[in-house]
Amino acid sequence: MPTENSDILAEAGHKTQETEYYSPIPDGYVKGKHKYVVVMGTVMSGLGKGIFSSSVAKLLKDKGLRVSPIKMEGYLNIDSGTLNPYRHGEVFVLDDGMETDMDLGTYERILDQNLTGDNFTTSGQIYRGVLDKERHGGYLGRDVQMIPHVTGEVKYLLRKLAVKQNAEVVFVEVGGTVGDFENAFYIEALRELAFEEGPDSVCFVALTYVIEPRALGEQKSKAAQLGIKRMMELGVQPHIIACRGRNPVGDKAREKIAMFSNVPANRVFSMHDRDSIYTIPEQMHAEGLDIQILSILNMHSRVRPAQEDKARKQWSRFVNALTRRRKYSISVGITGKYAELRDAYASIDKALEHCGAHLSADIDIKWLDTIAMDTAAPESIANTLRTLDAVIVPGGFGHRGTEGKIASVKYCRENLTPYLGICLGFQMAVVDFARNVCGIPDAASSEFDQNAANPVIDILPEQKKIEGLGGNMRLGGKQVQLTAGSLASILYDNQTEIRQRFRHRYEVDPKFIDTLEKHGLIFSGRHPEQPIMQVLELPFATHPYFIGAQFHPELTSRPLHPAPLFMGLIAAAIRHAYPEVPAEQISERWLPFVKEPIQS
């Protein structure tokens, strides 16, 4: 039986010109002004689409073009916040609080620009947007279908991103592999986008894999050919093919792939394994990949050579520092419960790589499982940590491994080992200090013990109201006030206010702050208005480097601008490993507070 709403919508639909097209255009969108580079994977997942896409985007940005990436995930989650690190790696938090795939971290680091939630979407977001629009009569009574409405939503999202971020080139990374059910509607939407935008508007790149079985001793391209054929069956003709492999992909394999994909051989590139992802942009430029993309998109006239020369010189200096022989060799322990899965701490790994290049240090990362340390004897923990020049206790959730982290903090504090605590590592440093310095043996976090007698780390009712948090996490970029003259302030160029990214629920309970401070703990970073402690440290007159941050400094570390807390840690670790070397010789910038080695 017709309803009032259905009659209204039917009348509206009758008055609207009947058409099978549904491709809404956002206000301000100018066809031809914005171009698109679409990167899809074939053969298998995990080929490094984000690394490839961000590297090409950097080359075009260096030429003076405004670029904006977007990662399109196939899963139905609204964001990446609840994904298991074992399945999906770390959760990367953007400045606006969006919890995303770790590939967004790669984009931010290589492009050296902050992204927003507009640069990330999931099938869940797309479907929710379509259904919300349908409930509000946005389709004028039409039956809502995958084509044209869901695909139309994808096209609208991309065009809106181009307008909002004023991007000349939008880099679209389609998650998963061509042939997956969950990303098929993305691929169809992108096919439609290329059709609607016209020639020279969209460049399709197929990232594939060339197998090299050890038993055969030669490269086999059949899987790559079949994967690209699947892409072509979906109506997408690639313009460029990037071949991943352990070793440089030879002419024979590339010629076969070119023949069966209708792609000229000079547009089939080898993207073999490299020691560092940061060497990839220069390799791409040397092989002319950026020139080919500019030709496909007809954008050579927009290039600014002077800007490109300056950007490439800056990057080359970093890459040279990254690849040359280092002066120092140090060992850094990362104590976490996902120690066997490096992707869970990808941003920390990269932050250390940045610091190693800038301070000429080979950093041997020791991944230590704190779950095993929970029940280990103090002597065993000491024997493990004694060989390290610095320790990082990273963020995390859940009770497992926390006692091992507290034991690690205690060892570093008592034995003058440089220490950096991040988020949970900050909180565990508070618990250790309360227990072992302030004499509160039952100090704990209410996250792990709801009945704790002295929850020095707690989630407080008055803090839940701050910034509309409710029961959710405190996410994204927030201001941090630093105490002038503190270690934290010195590391951040003597600034007294900085912006950093957070991802946590629990805080230092304000009623314990006086006790902690009276016993020597310094809270050198605080919320500008509320009693939220955000940085702690020990006096650098009594400890060479002991600092903790409630925020995640690794999320904003960039190759050309490494995170200050990590730079200070690595400089202190070099000093720990080479006490005979004068501090100013290691780094005047990052060891300004060290005069003589501190005696325990």
Catalytic residues: 423, 552, 554
Residues 6+ apart with CB under 8 A from 84: none
178 φ, ψ to 5°?
-55, 130
Alpha carbons 467 and 469: distance in angstroms, whole number: 6
How do 361-369 and 328-336 pair as beta strands?
A: parallel
Structural Rg of the chain based on CA atoms: 27
C-alpha of 32 from chain center: 31
**Cα(127)–Cα(589) distance, rounded to whole angstroms?**
50
Contact criterion met (CB below 8 Å) for 126 and 134: no
Question: Given its phi and psi angles, is residue 532 left (phi above 0), alpha (psi -120 to 50 degrees) or beta?
Answer: beta
Strands 507-508 and 454-458, by their bridges, are antiparallel
Torsion of CA 118, 120, 124, 130, to 10 degrees: 30
The alpha carbon of residue 471 and the mean position of all alpha carbons in its chain are separated, in whole angstroms, by 25
DSSP states along 332-366: EEEEETTTT-GGGGHHHHHHHHHHHHHHTEEEEEE
| Strand ranges across the sheet with 443-445 | 443-445, 454-458, 507-508
CA 190, CA 23: separation in Å to the nearest integer?
12
Cα separation, 553 vs 564, whole angstroms: 8
